[in-house]
Amino acid sequence: MELISQVLAVEPTAQVLGKEPIIPFAILMVVILVVPIIFERLRLPALVGLVLSGVVLGPSGWNLFQAESPMMNLLADIGLIYLMFVAGLEVDIEQFRRRKTRSLGFGSFTFGVPLIAGTLVGRILGFEWNAAILIGSLFASHSLLAYPIVSRLGVVNNEAVTVTIGARIFTDIGVMLVLAVCVAIHGWAFTPAKILTLLGWLTVYSAVVVSGFDWAGKEFFRRSGEDEGNQFLFVLLTVFLSVVGAQLIGVEKIIGAFLAGLAVNEAVGDGPVKEKVMFVGSVLFIPIFFVDLGLLINLPVFAKNIGTLKVTLLVVIGLIASKFLAAFLAKLVYRYNWQEMLTMWSLSVPQVGATLAATLVGYRAGLLPIGVLNSVIVLMLVTSTIGPLITSKVAVGLTSSQRDQLTNPDDSQETKDSPLTIVVPVYNPQTQQYLIEMAALLARQADGRIIPLAIATAAAHMDAPQLEVSLQRSDRLLSKATAQSRVLGIEAEPLLRIDDAFAQGISRAAREQSASLILMGWGKRTGLRARLFGNVIDSVLWASHCPVAVTRLVESPRKIQRILVPIENLTSPSLQPIQFAQILAEANQAQLTVLNVCERRTSSSKIAWRRSQLALLVSKLALPNPPEVQIIAHENVAQAILQAARLYDLVVLPFIRNRTSPGGLAMSDVTTQLARQLTCSIIMLGEPSRTQPVTLQTAVPSTTATV
Q: What is the pLDDT of residue 703?
A: 29
Residues 6+ apart with CB under 8 A from 595: 564, 565, 566, 567, 630, 631, 632, 641, 644
Domain span including residue 440: 407-706
Bridge partner list, 653: 684
Query: Domain ends where: 399, 424, 451?
Result: 399
Q: Residue 324: which of 544, 634, 110 has the closest Cα? A: 110
Query: Higher-confidence residue: 195 or 414?
Result: 195
Say whether both 15 and 122 belong to one domain.
Answer: yes
- Shared domain check, 431 and 373: no
Map residue 685 onto helix, strand or coil: strand
- Tell me: do 449 and 483 sit in the same domain: yes
8 pLDDT higher than 70: no
Q: Work out the average pLDDT over 425-438.
A: 85
| d(C-alpha 62, C-alpha 72), whole Å | 16
> Would 2 be classed as within a structural domain?
no
pLDDT band at 497 (very low <50, low <70, confident <90, very high): confident
CA-based torsion, 181, 203, 115, 253: positive or negative: negative
On whether residue 575 sits in a domain, the answer given is yes
User: Is residue 647 packed enough to be buried (19+ CB in 10 Å), middle (13-18) or exposed (0-12)?
Assistant: exposed
Average pLDDT, the chain: 77
Query: Looking at the structure, do residues 432 and 332 belong to the same domain, yes or no?
Result: no
- Helix ranges (H only) for 335-428 are 338-348, 353-364, 370-394, 402-405, 409-417
Residues 309 and 435 in one domain: no
Separation CA 469–CA 115 (nearest Å): 66
Q: List beta partners, residue 632.
A: 597
Query: In this predicted model, what pLDDT tens digit does every residue of 529-586 receive, in sequence order?
Result: 444 334 677 777 777 788 888 888 888 888 999 999 988 766 555 677 888 888 888 8
d(CA 337, CA 315): 28
The predicted structure's pLDDT at residue 706: 27
pLDDT band at 304 (very low <50, low <70, confident <90, very high): low
Handedness of CA 257, 259, 261, 267 (dihedral sign): negative
Same-domain check for residues 444 and 379: no
In this model, does residue 92 exceed pLDDT 50? yes
pLDDT at 327: 92
* Total count of domains within the chain: 2
Residue 342 has pLDDT above 60, yes or no: yes
What are the two backbone dihedrals, phi and then psi, of residue 124, each rounded to the nearest 5 degrees? Answer: -60, -35
User: Is 512's pLDDT higher than 80?
Assistant: yes
CATH number, domain of 666, equals 3.40.50.12370
**How far is 370 from 666, CA to CA, in rounded Å?**
37
Looking at 15-19, 250-254, 462-466, which range is the least confident one?
Answer: 15-19
Confirm whether 477 is domain-assigned.
yes
pTM for the full model? 0.62
Give pLDDT, residue 322. 93
Tell me if 570 sits within 8 A of 613, measured CB to CB. Answer: yes
Would you state the pLDDT for residue 462? 54
Of the candidate ranges 145-149, 185-189, 521-525, 557-561, the one whose mean pLDDT is the lowest: 521-525
Q: How far apart are the first and last CA of the chain?
A: 79
Instruction: Answer yes or no: do 391 and 420 share one domain.
Output: no
Amino acid at 93: I
Question: Regarding predicted confidence, which is higher, 231 or 133?
Answer: 133
Boundary-marking domain end, from 399, 424, 443: 399
Last residue of a domain, one of 381, 399, 417: 399
Q: 116 pLDDT band (50/70/90 cuts)?
A: very high
Q: Are residues 506 and 415 in the same domain?
A: yes
Residues 75 and 196 in one domain: yes
CATH of the domain at 338: 1.20.1530.20
Query: Which residues fall within 8 angstroms of residue 597, CB to CB, at 6 or more apart?
Result: 566, 631, 632, 633, 634, 637, 640, 641
Least confident of 298-307, 593-602, 630-639: 298-307
Query: In this structure, is residue 142 part of a structural domain?
Result: yes
1 in a structural domain: no
| Residues 304 and 432 grouped into a single domain | no
DSSP secondary structure string, 574-590? --HHHHHHHHHHHHHT-
**C-alpha to C-alpha distance for 203 and 193, rounded to whole angstroms:** 15
Q: Quick one: 482 and 338 in the same domain? A: no
Q: Are residues 559 and 437 in the same domain?
A: yes
pLDDT of 21 > 70? The answer is no
Residue 371: half-sphere exposure toward Cβ, Cα within 13 Å: 19
Higher pLDDT, 535 or 155: 155
DSSP state, residue 492: B
Residue 176 domain flag: yes
